């Protein structure tokens, strides 16, 4: 049976979340959280596939994106507030728990949900960004940099240099993305390149260059049809044009607050529920296959499944079949009772 993808909104006194939904109303709940600079649309290949398997699938526009509220202060984009948005969404669906699935900045959200609200979490899955119980902060990731690729003398912050650029030159970073948003989207959403493995990511030299492209607007590259259709490109462009990059970029401006929040997780942040992590083999920035970035996760997750997907960073869009197979296998193996329950 095929289910339509439908648009919904939940409004509370503190926040509005727009979301897409698909699948039987009473199906076991999967909530998909997108990253930077994406939309609920980023899960377009997952929602109908898992709806057809009997799941109720929900993908919100995260805070600052799409049809959800955005704000004017950096501190309004801290993880603790975003987790609160997701708790409100869950309550509005009349559910007390879900399997949480995240990618990019959506991954810290689902990891925080699992760490701080294990009673609301049946299982948790992440694409590209591994679990760090101390929080996904610069203090956590820089010590895990692969120094064979990023010598400390040349790249002190490794591939995370671009995150420091946000802190030091926020307006300049934002302006480079907003200069021509359609070109920005086309330049960002590209498939993985196997030739980049073992080489420094572009993100490692952003401060030295004075911006992503030396502060220039993004060039007019051809659209990568393996990641985006023309209508996907138009949808991303329209949403990012409407809201701008202040909100999306502000997710990078809360390292201190996010680290403090992580420290308050019960059980030292250790996760007992089933966990799935999908490594992007050609993801240069979130490089987890050869570096130590995934090691803290192996220590802190009691029931961890790992799968390597031959993709770049935009995994759910570049390799939807591989992602869907890995998720479905994990759900069947680790959460068979949840799958069967209406």
Catalytic residue status for 104? yes
At 177, give phi and psi (nearest 5°).
-75, -30
Catalytic choice (282, 283, 313, 338) = 313
Name the residue among 27, 26, 67, 30 with its Cα closest to residue 47: 30
Tell me the C-alpha to C-alpha distance, in Å, between residue 189 and each of 37, 106, 271, 320: 10, 17, 32, 14
Given 104, 232, 249, 283, which residue is catalytic?
Answer: 104
> Is residue 45 annotated as part of the catalytic site, yes or no?
no
Q: Which residue among the candidates 252, 261, 282, 338 is catalytic per the annotation? A: 252
Residue among 74, 99, 75, 72 nearest 86 (CA): 99
Please give the backbone phi and psi of residue 14, each rounded to the nearest 5 degrees, phi first. -105, -20
By CB atoms closer than 10 A (0-12, 13-18, 19+), residue 176 is buried
Sign of CA dihedral 19, 336, 295, 259: positive
Is the bond leading into 37 cis (omega within 30 degrees of zero)?
A: yes
Catalytic residue list contains 74: no
Cα separation of 39 and 316, whole Å?
Answer: 12
Phi and psi angles of residue 53, each rounded to the nearest 5 degrees, phi first: -90, 0
Nearby residues of 240 by Cβ (< 8 Å), 6 or more positions away = 37, 177, 181, 184, 185, 248
CB 268 within 8 A of CB 299: no
The answer to whether residues 34 and 251 touch, using CB atoms and an 8 Å cutoff, is no
Show which residues are catalytic. 104, 252, 313
């Amino acid at each position: 049976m095929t289910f339509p993808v439908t648009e919904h909104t939940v409004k509370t006194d503190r926040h509005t979340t727009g979301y897409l939904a698909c699948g039987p109303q009473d199906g076991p709940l999967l909530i998909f959280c997108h990253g930077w600079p994406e939309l609920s649309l980023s899960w377009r290949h997952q929602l109908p596939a898992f709806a057809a398997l009997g799941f109720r699938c929900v993908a919100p526009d995260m805070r600052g994106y799409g049809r959800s509220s955005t704000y004017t202060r950096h501190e309004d984009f801290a993880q603790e507030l975003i987790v609160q948005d997701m708790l409100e969404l869950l309550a509005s669906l009349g559910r007390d728990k879900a399997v949480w699935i995240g990618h990019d900045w959506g991954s810290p959200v689902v990891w925080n949900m699992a760490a701080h609200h294990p009673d609301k979490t049946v299982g948790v899955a992440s694409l590209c960004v591994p679990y760090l119980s101390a929080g996904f902060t610069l203090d956590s990731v820089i010590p895990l940099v692969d120094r064979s690729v990023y010598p400390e003398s040349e790249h002190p912050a490794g591939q995370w240099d671009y995150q420091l650029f946000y802190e030091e030159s926020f307006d300049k970073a934002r302006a480079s993305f907003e200069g021509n948003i359609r070109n920005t989207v086309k330049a960002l959403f590209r498939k993985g390149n196997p030739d980049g493995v073992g080489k420094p990511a572009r993100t490692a030299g952003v401060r030295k260059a004075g911006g992503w492209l030396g502060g220039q607007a993004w060039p007019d590259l051809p659209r990568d049809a393996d990641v985006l259709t023309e209508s996907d490109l138009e949808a991303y462009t329209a949403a990012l044009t409407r809201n701008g990059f202040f909100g999306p970029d502000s997710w990078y401006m809360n390292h201190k607050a996010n680290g403090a929040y992580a420290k308050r997780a019960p059980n030292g942040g250790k996760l007992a529920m089933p966990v799935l992590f999908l490594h992007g083999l050609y993801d240069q920035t979130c490089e987890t296959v050869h570096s130590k970035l995934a090691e803290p996760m192996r220590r802190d997750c009691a029931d961890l499944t790992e799968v390597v997907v031959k993709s770049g960073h935009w995994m759910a869009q570049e390799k939807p079949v591989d992602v869907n197979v890995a998720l479905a296998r994990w759900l069947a193996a680790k959460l068979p009772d949840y799958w069967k329950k209406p």
